[in-house]
Structures are given as structure tokens and as C-alpha cells.
Structure 1
Amino acid sequence: MIELEGLTKRYGEKLAVDDLTFTVRPGVITGFLGPNGAGKSTTMRMVLGLDHPTAGDVRIDGMHYDQLKDPLTRIGALLDAGAVHGGRSAFNHLLCLAQSNGIPAPRVHEVLDTVGLTAVAHKKAKGFSLGMGQRLGIAAALLGDPDILMFDEPANGLDPEGIHWIRTLMKSLAAQGRTVFVSSHVMSEMALTADHLVVIGQGRLLADTSMADFIRQNSRTYVRIRTPQRERLLDVLHEDGITVVECGSGALEVEGEKAELIGELAAGHQIVLHELSPRQASLEEAFMRLTAPAVEYHAHSDAAVGRPRQAARAGWGADRGKAG
């Protein structure tokens, strides 16, 4: 279990993390979401004692990270897969970590096999692709067989097979009763992986809830209907006090979770339905809606991007001339 209480971090005038309080519990995958600059990486670094809080506290099973004996056997983390000496082989990198934490050497072979790097175990890390480096970082996190695991963008650089593998691995770890805390910007993947969500923006806690509740609370739920008996259905729904919105392609939409009621009304009046589908926003849409006010960096479609090349070059040349 990871417990944060009033966790705050300042870098000079910049308030990176602002009074965060939440608990990452065992047995579920907790997704950690937030826009760029929200303070996610800083928070994870404070969990591991890499940054010290300005105020507040963070504990791992009731202890600070620096109080843990052989910390890799208590918490494993992937924060920066590139933090590997390029001249070392994958095997030697993991062996050094194992020896420093009292982990038996055979465990190195086990985790290399788990992440699929046995065939390149004795190759130098500097020759690894991004995905291979990511697998090595995951192996390091698993090395001590810890009860708590933290992953920052674990699917980064992985191919589709690798993404499916890491998703399955995290689900398996949580099913074993371990604490799994994962940060990612890939909303589609997080929607398939996480059970619980902690969302922050500008360092502040925005949500701490289940995946289902988060989407329900931050998105529009509606029912989409198509029927060849459009006018008759409109009359029936109107008589029942149901507000209907007409949209493109001849479809109708009704706000809320009313699919069963609409289906029963249509059946009772012998109205044929070609479509009756409950709809709900995706995790990405719900996330964007909640965090929009907390986004620091807004990109815009700039007309200059689409202007004729000749004009763009002429302007660039004029600017160069002035600079010269």
C-alpha cells in the first residue's frame, strides 16, 4: 500500500504538487492520470525518495522509502527505462541490482525470461531498441518480487504484442493481491487496464474513484435510436415525458440511461427499432472534460502551418535578413 497525506512539492516559485492525499491499495490496478506538467512524475519520485516533499508525507506499507531494507524486495518501479549504463549487458545490469538488494542471482534469469529478453541477456544495453529497454526496466521492477509496483508509461515503445503482454502482466500482479500503480497518457490502454483512477491537474487532486464512476461522473450518457416509424416513436416518447433530440442520419438521441424504458415503450406500441444502443463517453473524453481547466500547454491549429511554402520561406528569409 502507498499512502500520501498532504504531499506538497515546490521548486522555487513553482508549486508542482499541491497537498495530495490518496491511498493506492492492493489487489487493484490504480491508474494515475493528469495532463503534462500535472505533477505525476514528481509524485512518483517522492514515493521513491528521489525528491523530498516540501510538506506532507508519503509512506510505503507504513514506512518511508529510506527506511526500507532491501527496497527492491518491497517496491519495484519503472520511472525511466533509459537509466541504464549502456556498456552493461542486460544480465549484468540486473545482477548488480540483485546483489545490492540481497536477491539471489537465479532470479535474474527468471525476470529476463518473464520479459522476453533471455535471447539478448548478454548484449549491451546501448544496442537495445526503445521497446527492449522498456522490457529491461520492467524486469528491474520485478526483480525483487515486490508486493508494490509502480510503472510510468509502461507501454512506451512496445509493439502491440508487448502492450498486450504488459497489460496481462499488470492484471496478473493485481490478482495476486499486489499494489499496482501505473501512470500513462494512453487513455485507450488505461481504459482496458485500470480498475481505479487517481487524476490530478496542476498538482491538485481532481478525482479518486473507480473507472466506472469516473466515466459516469464526467461524461454524457445517452441512448441512440433509429426507426422507420420515426414520427410515431416521437409521439410515444413525448407522451411519456421523454425529451428526444433529432440528430444526423435520421437518428434520435435521448439523454440518460433509458434504453430499457424506450425498448419497452416501442414494443408496447409495436414500433420497429433498427437501433437501440446505450452510449457513453470514452475514458479519454471524460478525462479531457475534467482536466480541461488544468491543462497548462494548449496547442492550437495555426494558420501559418498551412500557408503556402513560398510565403513561409519568404518570411523566414526576411527574418534572417533582419537578424543578420
Structure 2
Amino acid sequence: MIELEGLTKHYGDVRAVDHLTFTVRPGIITGFLGPNGAGKSTTMRMMLDLDNPTSGTVRIDGRHYRELRDPLRAVGALLDAKAMHGGRSAYHHLLCLAQSNGIAPARVREVLDTVGLTSVAKKRTKGFSLGMGQRLGIAAALLGDPRILMFDEPVNGLDPEGIHWIRNLMKGLAAQGRTVFVSSHLMSEMALTADHLIVIGRGRLMADMSMSDFISENSRSYVRMRSPDAERLRDVLHGAGIDVAPGADGALEVTGEDAAHLGELAARHRIVLHELSPQQASLEEAFMRLTAGSVEYHAHENHQRSAAGAKAPAGAWGADWRKKGS
């Protein structure tokens, strides 16, 4: 279990993390989300005593990270896949870590096999691709068979097979009762992986809830109905006291009603339905809605051309990064 209480970090006049309080519990995968500059990396570094908080505390199973005698046996972390000596082989990189924490050398070969790097165990890491480096970083996190796992962008550089593998690995670790804390910008992947979400914006806690609750509370859910007799369907719904909004393709959108109830209502009035589908926002849409006011930088595209059809001036196309409010 990881417990944060009032965690705060200042860099000069900038408050990167602002009184964060939350608990990461065992047995589930907890996703850590936030826009760029929200303070995620700083928070994770303070969890591992790589940065000192201005105020507040972080406890790993009731103790500060620096108080752990053999930290790799308690916490395994992947924060930077490039954090390795390029002149060392994958095997010796892990062996050095194992020896520093009293871990048997046999465990090195076990984790290399787990992450699929046995065939390149003797190769120098400076020749590794991004995905191979990512797998080696995951191997280092698993080395001490820890109770707590922390991953920052774990699928970065992995191919589809690798993404499927790390997803199942994290689910398996959580099923064993371990604490799994993962940060990622890939919303589609997080939606398939995380059970619980911690969302921060500008260093402040914005959400601490289950995945399903987060999506339902930060999105509009409705039932989409489409019929060749749309006018009569609308009249029937209005007659039943049900509010209806027009949708795309001539469909009707109904909020606050169960799809089965709506289908039965249409059937009683012998109205043919071509579509009856519950609609709910994706994790990405819910996240964008919640954090819209906390985004540090916005991209703007200028697609304007002169009335004469002249090309846009240099710099008018593409991303123009501006700080929000500047």
C-alpha cells in the first residue's frame, strides 16, 4: 500500500504538487492520470525519495522509502527505461541491482525469461531498441519480487504483442494481491488495464474513484434510438414524460432511461426500431471533460488563407504552443 498525505512540492514560485492525499491499495491496478505538467512524474519521484517534498509525507507499507533495508524487495519501479549503463549487458545490469539488494543471481535469469530477453541477455544495452529497454526496465522492477509495482508509461516503445503482455502481467500481479500503480497518457490502454483512477491537474487531486464511476460522473450517458417512424416515436416518448433530444442521422437521444424500458415502450406501440443502443463516453472523453481547465499548454492550428487563395504565412500551420491564459 502507498499512502500520500498532504504531499506538496515547490520549485521556486512554482507549486508542482499541491497537497496531494490519496491511497494506492493492493489487489487492483490503480491508474495515475493527468495532463502534461500536472505533477505526475514529480509525485512518483517523491514516492521513491528521488525528490524531497516541500511538505507532506509518503509511506510505503507504513514506512518511508529511505527506511527500507532492501528496497527492491518492497518496491519495483520503472520510471525511466533509459536508466542503465550502455556498456553493460542486460544480464550484468540486473546482476548489479540484484547484488545491491541481496537477491540471488538465479533471479536475474528468471526475470530475463519473464520479459522475453533471454536471447539477448549478454548483449550490451546501448544497442537495445526502445522496446527492449522497456522490457529490461520492467525486469528490473520485478527483480526483487516486490509487493508494490510502479510503472511510468510501461507500454512506451512496445509492439502490440508487448502491450498485450504487459497488460496481462500487471493484471496478474494485482490478482496476486500486489499494489500496482501505473501512469500513462494512452487512454485506450488505461481503459483496458486500470480498475481505479487517481487524476490530478496542476498538482491537485481531481478524482479518486473506480474506472466505471469516473466515466459515468464525467460524461453524458444516453440511449440512441433510430426508427423509420421517428415522429411517432418522439410523440410516444413525450407522451410517457420522457425528454428527447435530436441526434445525428435522424436518431433520437434519450437521457436517464434504461434501454430495455425504451425498447419495450416502442414495442407496445408497434414502432419498428432500427437502433436501440446505450451510449457512454470513453475514458478519453471523460478525462478531457474533467481536466479541460487544468491543461497547461494548448495547441492551436491556423488554417486561414487570404481571400485571394494565397498560402498561409510561415508558421501559420501546425502547432502553436501557448501557456493557458497567456
Query: In structure 2, how many angstroms separate the alpha carbons of the residues matched to 1:17 and 1:278?
Result: 38
Amino acid at match of 2:251: A
The alignment status of 1:182 with 2:174, answered yes or no, reads no
Counterpart in the other structure of 1:30: 30
Name the SS of the counterpart of 2:56 in structure 1: strand
Deviation at 1:303, TM superposition (A): 3.7
Identify unmatched segments of 5+ residues in structure 1.
314-324
Alignment of 1:47-126 (within 5 A): 47-126=47-126
CA deviations over 1:5-46 (Å, ceiling 9, x no partner) = 000000111100000000000000000000000000000000
Counterpart in the other structure of 2:314: 312
Name the SS of the counterpart of 1:298 in structure 2: strand
Query: In structure 2, how many angstroms separate the alpha carbons of the residues matched to 1:305 and 1:97?
Result: 58
Deviation at 1:244, TM superposition (A): 1.2
CA deviations over 1:252-301 (Å, ceiling 9, x no partner) = 11123431221110111121111100000000000000001111111111
Query: In structure 2, how many angstroms separate the alpha carbons of the residues matched to 1:18 and 1:310?
Result: 42
Matched-pair contact (CA < 8 Å) for 1:3–1:24: yes
Q: Cα RMSD over matched residues?
A: 1.6
Counterpart in the other structure of 2:322: none
Query: In structure 2, how many angstroms separate the alpha carbons of the residues matched to 1:78 and 1:53?
Result: 20
Q: Which moved more, 1:269-278 or 1:30-39?
A: 269-278
Query: In structure 1, how many angstroms separate the alpha carbons of the residues matched to 2:63 and 2:305?
Result: 52
Name the SS of the counterpart of 2:298 in structure 1: coil
Matched-pair contact (CA < 8 Å) for 2:304–2:312: no
Query: In structure 2, how many angstroms separate the alpha carbons of the residues matched to 1:308 and 1:24?
Result: 56
TM-score under structure 2 length normalisation? 0.93
Q: Kindly, what percent of the aligned residue pairs are identical?
A: 75
Matched-pair contact (CA < 8 Å) for 1:257–1:278: no
Counterpart in the other structure of 1:44: 44
TM-score under structure 1 length normalisation? 0.94
Query: In structure 1, how many angstroms separate the alpha carbons of the residues matched to 2:312 and 2:253?
Result: 48
Counterpart in the other structure of 1:135: 135
Structure ranking higher in helix proportion: 1
Alignment of 1:1-324 (within 5 A): 1-303=1-303, 312=314
Measured at CA, do residues 310 and 184 of structure 1 come closer, stay the same or move farther in structure 2, by a change above 3 Å?
A: closer
Amino acid at match of 1:312: A
Matched-pair contact (CA < 8 Å) for 1:221–1:257: no
Amino acid at match of 2:49: G
Amino acid at match of 1:166: I
Identify unmatched segments of 5+ residues in structure 2.
316-326
Measured at CA, do residues 273 and 214 of structure 1 come closer, stay the same or move farther in structure 2, by a change above 3 Å?
A: same
Matched-pair contact (CA < 8 Å) for 1:24–1:30: yes
Query: In structure 1, how many angstroms separate the alpha carbons of the residues matched to 2:81 and 2:25?
Result: 25
Query: In structure 2, how many angstroms separate the alpha carbons of the residues matched to 1:13 and 1:182?
Result: 29
Amino acid at match of 2:301: S
Query: In structure 1, how many angstroms separate the alpha carbons of the residues matched to 2:304 and 2:99?
Result: 56
Matched-pair contact (CA < 8 Å) for 1:32–1:199: yes
Matched-pair contact (CA < 8 Å) for 2:303–2:312: no
Measured at CA, do residues 311 and 281 of structure 1 come closer, stay the same or move farther in structure 2, by a change above 3 Å?
A: closer
CA deviations over 1:45-64 (Å, ceiling 9, x no partner) = 00000001100000000000
Query: In structure 1, how many angstroms separate the alpha carbons of the residues matched to 2:12 and 2:164?
Result: 41
Name the SS of the counterpart of 2:243 in structure 1: coil
Deviation at 1:308, TM superposition (A): 6.2
